[in-house]
Amino acid sequence: MSLTKIESEIVEINNSAENIFNYLSDFKNFEKLMPSQVTKWEATSDECSFNINGMATIGMKIIDKTPFNKITINSNGKVPFNFQLFIFITKKDDNNSSGQLIFESELNPMLKMMVVKPLGNFFNLLAHKMKDIK
């Protein structure tokens, strides 16, 4: 097992770091960001679970928030492997920021081979959807 790190692209967002942070601090808002292959979405403010077509059910919990800068999310046991997901928001000025998702997990080589590409695509899609937050 080795640490697998998947980093999304860094996206420029025409919105304040505070607005992006506040939006992403509530899992109930995430459903609007999910791609069509996500089904069975359920969420409270701090926890969510969903299916990605062809993969297992994923469960996540927000465990830490650093205002306007970072949200730390852990898997919550409803997954085939434990992970952490970090959402980084960087303020550029009052109306512009950038965002990036970074995923970390201890994965065996077989699982890593299967999940790196689909998860990388998923996190890039989520990062780009941050541009749509109003």
List, in sequence order, every beta strand (DSSP E) within 56-95: 57-66, 70-75, 84-93
Instruction: Render each residue's pLDDT in the chain as its tens digit; 134 residues.
Output: 889 999 999 999 999 999 999 999 999 999 999 988 899 999 999 999 998 776 778 899 999 999 999 999 999 976 778 999 999 999 999 999 999 999 999 999 998 998 899 899 999 999 999 999 98
Mean pLDDT of the chain: 93
One-character DSSP codes across 29-53 = GGGGG--TTEEEEEE-SSEEEEEET
- The pLDDT tens digits of the residues spanning 70-94 come to 999 999 976 778 999 999 999 999 9
- Strands 2-7 and 70-75 turn out to be unpaired
- Give the other-Cβ count within 10 Å of 1's Cβ: 11
Nearest residue to 126 via CA among 65, 66, 73, 57:
73
- pLDDT given at position 36: 86
Return d(Cα 17, Cα 28) in angstroms, integer.
19
Q: Domain extents for the chain?
A: 2-132
Residue appearing with tokens 């059910």: 57
Please tell me the pTM assigned to this model: 0.94
For the domain made up of 2-132, the CATH class stated in words is alpha beta
Whole-angstrom distance, CA of residue 85 vs CA of residue 101: 7
Amino acid type, 120: G
